[in-house]
Amino acid sequence: MSKVLDFVEKRSQNIEEKRQGFERILFRNILGTYTVLDNEGTIYPVKLIDVSRAGCMFEIPWNPKKDKRYEKEEEIKMRMYFSEKSFIPVLVKIKYSMEKIEGGGQAFMRYGCEFDKSLTSFKALESFIDFLYNFAEYSTIDTNENKTYFL
CATH of the domain at 38: 2.40.10.220
Position 9 in a domain: no
Whole-prediction pTM: 0.73
Structural domain harbouring 71: 31-128
What is residue 31's predicted lDDT score, i.e. its pLDDT?
62
Position 138 in a domain: no
φ/ψ of 12, rounded to 5, equals -60, -40
Position 59 in a domain: yes
Position 57 in a domain: yes
Position 4 in a domain: no
What is residue 151's predicted lDDT score, i.e. its pLDDT?
59
Total domains in the chain come to 1
Pairs from 10-19 (Cβ < 8 Å, separation ≥ 24): 15/133, 15/136, 15/137, 16/136, 18/136, 18/137, 18/139, 19/132, 19/133, 19/135, 19/136
Q: 6-15, 38-47, 63-72: which has the highest mean pLDDT?
A: 63-72
Position 141 in a domain: no
130: left (phi over 0), alpha (psi -120 to 50) or beta: alpha
Q: Residues in the chain, how many?
A: 151
Position 104 in a domain: yes
3 state DSSP class of 48:
strand
CB 104 within 8 A of CB 67: no
Mean pLDDT over residues 100-118, rounded? 91
Position 6 in a domain: no
Nearest C-alpha neighbor of 68 from the set 29, 88, 104, 94: 94
With a CB cutoff of 8 Å and minimum separation 6, the contacts of 80 are 31, 33, 48, 87, 88, 90, 125
